[in-house]
């Protein structure tokens, strides 16, 4: 019998463990992680494979550190982006937890440099953005880079190894709920974990499992907006006037035709585009190294759409669109912006005859208009033209669009203000998988919040 069992060793689960062992050092705590320990994590694509073998457990997403391990390690130090914690707590409280969480990252080896703190540097960008009908969201960013992210998460693993039980390569299966109270859960190896408290933190990778487990237990969920889009790649020089000052710029636009929100997300100056595999579904993402630079910059353009009743399958909607891209391309599809506008597919020859070399070499040249709904595709095109006004060259015919980028945080668990599941006592749902967050710092902060509440109950 454990005092606390944590499902998932991503940032949300790790920070739950860091905080709880500090307040309750005498407690028996266990972390269950379906992937491997951090030193054993590999992604064959990163090691030179030409084609993603679609591993059963994606090395990029599963294992100690979760999606954070090979991430770009951008810690966005504001409550305004990267999650919904402001829906549960007032701004002062969220700011305090973000600061506390950031300090923990620093303690475990994060870099000191924060971009975007000096607002005077971004006055010109803000003005140009306003004229282009774009909103620049002020967001200071601490950038770790992929190498440092791995280092920090490894330090956390080494520290927690001595304090809690860490069980890797085993998956949580059935949640055991009795009389509206969590009792534990079963494991893929046939064992059962009994615990007084359970924190469920399975990330986007486990969002589908969580939604199905909740449906089985008749626990309610609500829909977040569905975020679908593309990853844009262009010469780093095009974005330098912005990225040199802010590193990452969060720009929000409302597309003229449909009025939908389109935003830039996860900008990686001199970075690379990567492919990720969600239980057999390939999608695209990006990251950058602190010390290894490519000639290109990439970022996502995500179109947010909130659907109304009777729609209740936001994750399945995103999966459906991603599957279309997979069906046509065998994985991820890439198209030049000019080809999209000309109504023709990109071909290997056309990609070759560009000024830009793709960093994701296994993407198949194709046609995004066969994959993305008209509404989302047009919103992306309109956003590219708006961005071109503040960074000329964005709407170049050579700009590459990879499809698709989908974020599986669109189903949200119904929670109390302390992130406890409504209707199931002692079960807390946190991080991206619960639909509460969508970035490293808020996912980690949600773990701190859950741990503090649990500890306060004794
Ligand atoms: C390539 C890439 C780059 C990124 N760059 C950034 C960035 O620069 N800045 C930023 O803020 N965010 C970034 N992100 C997003 C960030 O990684 C996530 O927001 C964050 O990791 C979410 O944390 P989490 O703990 O909620 O989930 P995750 O990190 O996804 O961790 C969940 C863990 O739970 C495990 N799991 C799932 N189901 C089960 C189960 N049933 N049993 C046991 N274990 C289970 C998974 O294997 C996984 O390890 C990036 C993501 C990727 C993939």
pLDDT tens digits, residue range 404-414?
999 888 789 99
- What stretch of H or E contains 76? strand 74-76
The structure's pTM equals: 0.92
Ligand 1 atom closest to 60 (CA): 53
Angle at the Cα of 248 from the Cα atoms of 51 and 236, rounded to 5 degrees: 60
Query: In which residue are the tokens 């007084």 written?
Result: 196
Instruction: Count CB atoms within 10 A of the CB of residue 438.
Output: 24
Q: How far from each other are the two terminal CA atoms of the chain, in whole angstroms?
A: 15
| Residue 408: per-residue pLDDT | 87
If you measure from the C-alpha of residue 436 to the centroid of ligand 1, how many angstroms do you get, rounded to a whole number?
13
Shortest-distance Cα residue to atom 30 of ligand 1: 203
* Residue 336 neighbours by CB under 8 Å, 6+ apart: 346, 350, 351, 354, 397, 398, 399, 400, 401
Ligand 1 atom closest to 274 (CA): 1
Cα-to-chain-centroid distance, residue 117: 23
What is d(CA 81, CA 186) in angstroms, rounded to the nearest whole number? 35
| Residue 206: per-residue pLDDT | 95
Residues with CB under 6 A from ligand 1: 7-13, 32-35, 60-63, 66-68, 70-74, 76, 82, 171-172, 201-206, 209, 266, 274, 276, 285, 287, 431-433, 438-440, 443
What is d(CA 325, CA 334) in angstroms, rounded to the nearest whole number? 10
| Residue 146: per-residue pLDDT | 85
Side-chain-side CA neighbours of 311 within 13 Å: the count stands at 15
Ligand 1 atom closest to 8 (CA): 34
Q: Classify the C-alpha dihedral 312-282-175-98 as positive or negative.
A: negative
What is the DSSP pairing of strand 141-143 with strand 74-76?
antiparallel
Shortest-distance Cα residue to atom 20 of ligand 1: 440
| Residue 119: per-residue pLDDT | 83
Q: Give pLDDT < 70 ranges for the chain.
A: none
The structural domains of the chain, with segments of one domain joined by +, span: 2-117+140-222+412-457, 225-407
E strand map for 332-458: 333-336, 364-365, 400-407, 411-413, 427-429
Cis peptide before 21 (omega within 30 of 0): no
| Residue 74: per-residue pLDDT | 92
427, two tokens: 């079960």
If you measure from the C-alpha of residue 387 to the centroid of ligand 1, how many angstroms do you get, rounded to a whole number?
29
In CATH, which superfamily holds the domain spanning 2-117+140-222+412-457? FAD/NAD(P)-binding domain (3.50.50.60)
């Amino acid at each position: 019998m454990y005092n606390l069992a944590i499902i998932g060793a991503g940032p949300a689960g790790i920070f739950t463990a860091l905080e709880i062992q500090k307040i309750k050092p005498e407690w028996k705590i266990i972390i269950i992680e379906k992937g491997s320990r951090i030193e054993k994590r590999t992604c064959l694509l990163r090691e030179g494979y030409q084609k993603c073998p679609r591993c059963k457990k994606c090395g990029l997403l599963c294992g100690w550190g979760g999606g954070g391990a090979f991430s770009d390690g951008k810690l966005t130090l504001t409550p305004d982006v990267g999650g919904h914690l402001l829906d549960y707590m007032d701004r002062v409280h969220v700011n305090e937890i973000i600061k506390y969480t950031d300090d923990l990252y620093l303690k475990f080896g994060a870099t000191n440099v924060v971009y975007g703190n000096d607002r005077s540097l971004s006055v010109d960008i803000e003005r140009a953005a306003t004229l282009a009908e774009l909103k620049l969201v002020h967001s200071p960013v601490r950038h770790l880079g992929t190498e440092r992210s791995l280092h920090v998460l490894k330090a956390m693993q080494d520290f927690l190894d001595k304090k809690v039980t860490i069980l890797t390569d085993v998956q949580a299966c059935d949640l055991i709920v009795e009389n509206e109270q969590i009792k534990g859960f079963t494991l893929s190896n046939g064992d059962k974990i009994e615990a007084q408290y359970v924190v469920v933190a399975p990330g986007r990778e486990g969002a589908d499992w969580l939604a199905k487990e909740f449906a089985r237990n008749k626990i309610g969920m609500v829909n977040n907006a569905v975020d679908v889009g593309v990853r844009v790649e262009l010469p780093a020089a095009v974005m330098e006037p912005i990225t040199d000052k802010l590193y990452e710029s969060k720009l929000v636009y409302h597309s003229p035709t449909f009025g939908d929100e389109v935003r830039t997300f996860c900008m990686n100056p001199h970075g690379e585009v990567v492919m990720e595999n969600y239980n057999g579904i390939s999608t695209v993402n990006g990251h950058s190294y602190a010390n290894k630079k490519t000639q290109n910059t990439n970022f996502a353009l995500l179109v947010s759409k909130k659907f109304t009743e009777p729609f209740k399958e936001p994750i399945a909607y995103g999966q459906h669109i991603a599957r279309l891209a997979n069906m046509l391309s065998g994985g991820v599809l890439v198209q030049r912006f000019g080809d999209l506008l000309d109504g023709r597919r990109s071909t290997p020859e056309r990609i070759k005859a560009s000024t830009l070399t793709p960093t994701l070499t296994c993407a198949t040249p194709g046609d995004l208009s066969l994959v993305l709904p008209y509404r989302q595709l047009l919103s992306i095109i309109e956003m590219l033209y708006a961005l071109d006004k503040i960074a000329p060259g964005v709407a170049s015919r050579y700009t590459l669009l990879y499809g698709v980028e989908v974020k599986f945080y669109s189903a949200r668990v119904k929670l109390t203000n302390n992130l406890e599941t409504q209707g199931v006592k002692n079960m807390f749902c946190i991080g991206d998988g619960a639909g509460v967050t969508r970035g490293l710092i808020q996912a980690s902060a949600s773990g701190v919040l859950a741990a503090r509440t649990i500890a306060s109950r004794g």
